[in-house]
Chains A and B, each alone.
Chain A
């Protein structure tokens, strides 16, 4: 699309857009194409000879029990993060919208996790739940729960889900609050006049009006759980114990940089790209004009 009024000039616009094109060519297209190429080659670990193998990397990948397990872990993790995160933030936004006193203070507190680095979030929660010195682990022991996420895979999963939800609450909260504030007050008053209680009003009036926001956030939360939680997991559990928290992005990193299996890592990248493309398509198809960070 362009303006009715445009400026003349042949080289000026090219010069203006050149920095962006140069950067994306070198740092985006070159590596992205290389990922595609590498996914159909086998390379030895010392960066030496390459051998064309077609789709063999993908065949090996989908026959690999560990990879399929990583898919299962990613699914559990992202469903839990999205579901718990959305419900919690919706509740907080609903009550923050009702609060008269101290509304700004509550809001300010609730947006803080957005600004905290995922890796720091991982460190914070890992410290709270540390089996020997963590204060929450100590409280849990008081309730008769023997907390040790360093040994127990399920507990490690719970830990990274809590940390990931804590980090994402702010983002969801801001969108839900904006959504709630755009609902005309007259609708809610009308429901009250009809004798609907708070829960009934929420269920039949407010929630349906929030459903576009909820859907948008659902996609964003899934993308977040897939890609932006790498640092949380690396800082809190390093994918362990025994790969219990090794989500797909973590496995790409681990296989590529620790195990030096470059072909497999590249094939995994390509699978992830396909997943992002589908999610992005869904997002653009159903929610136009929202750009995601």
Chain B
């Protein structure tokens, strides 16, 4: 920028460094705690220099978990990964198909279908939590991966993003495909899906993070430790109160729980930002 005011320059970097410090503080303290012994963590104030238990603590939680929640964290990470992938991929596939139907076809009751999908934009799962749980238990889906994922796929944000994107695809594309004798599914797989790949990438980042970080729903629908995603597992580790909590192991689990979604967002930054702010979506 044209601003050459040295005072402003100093202020700029001071504010940014303060911001980064506030962002980094909890993450750093968590990391440090995850490398210490329990005695070191409990010695208030704990040292802000990493200890030498890094490998030992992480190996212990991955293999056998912590405290009164006995499930190995490796298993919980697997549950989280499965959940995040099923939600992200499932939502993208289902939404691509239904947006395609809504945009490129005429069919009976299309208006009704559109409005049914549209209304789901308005109510987050938190709001209808109790009855959704009852439906799950009626269907026998408690403690199943189906129960863990399907209700979170049941909203239509992605459908609307694809719908809006499809509207910007020139009509000539479909026309040319028809003249060449390509059927609708051929057009879909060979033209529409490849054209949508940046939107798909952007949506994948957002939905992966959404799925990985779910809390309230898995809290209700899982009762066995072996089904917990890691975000739930960690809460169960500290529920025994201060005295019973092995903080160094809890903090190692917290680091492991943060790593995958943070990695996805940082590595796919470009698509992630596009997915959030792109006005064309």
Chain A residues at the B interface, C-beta cutoff of 8 Å: 1-7, 9-10, 12-14, 16-17, 19-21, 23-24, 26-32, 34-35, 38, 88, 91-92, 95-96, 98-100, 102, 106-121, 123-125, 127-128, 130, 132-135, 138-139, 166, 169, 171, 174-175, 178, 185, 188-189, 192, 198, 227-228, 230-231, 234-235, 249, 252-253, 256-257, 262, 265-266, 269, 272-273, 276-277, 280, 289, 291-293
Contacts and interface: CB of A to CB of B under 8 A. Distances in A.
Nearest to B187: A7
A116 B235 CA distance: 14
Given A23-B150, A123-B254, A273-B127, A174 B273 contact: yes
Contact of A24 (B104, B117, B127): B117
B171 A269 contact: no
B195 interface: no
A120 B272 CA distance: 21
Contacts of A12: 101, 105, 184-185
A116 B95 contact: no
Contact of B101 (A17, A88, A249, A266): A17
15 contacts: A7-B178, A19-B94, A24-B117, A27-B151, A28-B154, A115-B258, A115-B262, A115-B264, A119-B213, A124-B27, A127-B33, A166-B23, A192-B2, A231-B216, A257-B133
Nearest to A124: B26
A284 to B, nearest CB: 9
Given A119-B215, A234-B215, A35 B128 contact: yes
B55 interface: no
A230 B215 CA distance: 9
A289 B2 CA distance: 34
Given A34-B131, A175-B276, A280-B121, A135 B3 contact: no
A4 B174 CA distance: 10
Contacts of A13: 101, 104-107, 110
B44 to A, nearest CB: 5
A142 B11 CA distance: 28
Given A133-B44, A293-B276, 14 more contacts: A2-B103, A7-B178, A12-B105, A12-B185, A17-B102, A34-B131, A95-B16, A114-B209, A120-B234, A171-B276, A192-B3, A231-B216, A253-B129, A257-B130
A24 B131 contact: no
A231 to B, nearest CB: 4
B164 interface: yes
Interface in B150-191: 150-151, 153-157, 159-161, 164, 167, 171, 174-175, 178, 183-185, 187
B167 A1 contact: yes
B55 to A, nearest CB: 22
A47 to B, nearest CB: 9
Interface residues of B, number: 113
Chain A contact residues, majority secondary structure: helix
Contacts of A273: 123, 127-128
A32 B128 contact: yes
A291 B134 contact: no
B30 interface: yes
B25 A92 contact: no
B228 to A, nearest CB: 12
A123 B235 contact: yes
A23 B153 contact: yes
B94 A227 contact: no
A259 to B, nearest CB: 12
Given A34-B135, A120-B231, A293-B206, A24 B22 contact: no
B150 A3 contact: no
Contact of A3 (B42, B103, B128): B103
B184 A9 contact: yes
Contacts of B178: 5, 7
Given A28-B155, A98-B1, A120 B254 contact: yes
Interface in B67-107: 94-95, 97-98, 100-107
B235 to A, nearest CB: 6
